[in-house]
């Protein structure tokens, strides 16, 4: 069987064993913002060189990368999601010398440990009677919640999910939750 070679949409030299295309690997590694920037750079490259190199084929490639961008933006429409600006303090993974020999299982067990401490702190809050005790218990619970976030961040980092990817996943989850259940999971413009 003689397959037609498509150097614009699905070039053979970018296909991996099992039919995986390099563009899909790039999308997964770079995440939402990184992939859009990568595509934008390729659009610029192909438009700038088309007269001196491959003519129409380069313009078609620019269109393909534009389509990649549009598809990504449509699939993960994060424009309506209020994402935290980069200036906000994000959890930093525990990755110092103490953790050098930790496996992903060790990080996961740390998450479980921190979740258990959070549950205990919530129990303390439920049992608190005085106003001062309630304030102290809430403070302790919020610290334990933050420990859980930090432990999860360390676990994700150990598995190769860096800050840019965590940002992307947070945007995706926020968006997914914002449209689920008819958009009733989040307040809209200060309204229920």
pLDDT higher than threshold 90 for residue 93? no
Q: H or E element: which one contains 159?
A: none
pLDDT higher than threshold 80 for residue 132? yes
Mean pLDDT of the chain: 81
pLDDT score of 75? 74
Residue 23's alpha-carbon distances to 6, 30, 175, in angstroms, are 15, 10, 24
Q: How confident is the model at residue 86 (pLDDT cuts 50, 70, 90)?
A: very low
pLDDT score of 141? 94
Question: What are the residue ranges spanned by the domains of the chain?
Answer: 12-75, 97-183
Cα R_g (the chain), whole angstroms: 23
42 touches 62 (CB < 8 A): yes
pLDDT score of 18? 63
> Phi first, then psi: what are they for 46, rounded to 5°?
-70, -35
Output 192 or 12, whichever has higher pLDDT: 12
Q: How confident is the model at residue 78 (pLDDT cuts 50, 70, 90)?
A: low
Q: At what angle do helices 131-158 and 163-179 cross, to 10 degrees?
A: 120
Q: H or E element: which one contains 138?
A: helix 131-158
Has this prediction a pTM greater than 0.85? no
Q: What is the pLDDT of residues 107-130, one digit of tens each?
A: 999 999 999 999 999 999 999 998
pLDDT score of 17? 61
Query: Interior CA angle at 134 toward 128 and 140, to 5°?
Result: 100
Give mean pLDDT, residues 38-58: 93
Q: How confident is the model at residue 46 (pLDDT cuts 50, 70, 90)?
A: very high
pLDDT score of 84? 46
């Amino acid at each position: 069987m003689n397959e037609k070679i498509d150097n614009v949409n699905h070039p053979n030299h970018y296909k991996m064993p099992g039919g995986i295309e390099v563009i899909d690997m790039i999308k997964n590694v770079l995440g939402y913002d990184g992939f859009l920037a990568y595509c934008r750079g390729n659009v610029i490259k192909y438009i700038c060189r088309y007269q001196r190199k491959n003519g129409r084929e380069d313009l078609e490639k620019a269109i393909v990368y534009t389509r990649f961008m549009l598809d990504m933006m449509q699939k993960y429409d994060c424009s309506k999601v209020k994402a935290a600006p980069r200036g906000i303090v994000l959890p930093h993974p525990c990755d110092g010398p103490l953790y050098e020999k930790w496996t992903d299982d060790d990080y996961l067990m740390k998450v479980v440990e921190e979740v258990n401490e959070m549950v205990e702190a919530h129990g303390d809050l439920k049992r608190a009677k005085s106003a001062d005790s309630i304030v102290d218990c809430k403070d302790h619970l919020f610290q334990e919640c933050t420990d859980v976030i930090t432990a999860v961040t360390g676990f994700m980092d150990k598995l190769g999910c860096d800050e840019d990817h965590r940002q992307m996943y947070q945007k995706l989850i926020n968006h997914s939750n914002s449209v689920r259940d008819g958009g009733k999971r989040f307040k809209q413009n200060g309204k229920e």
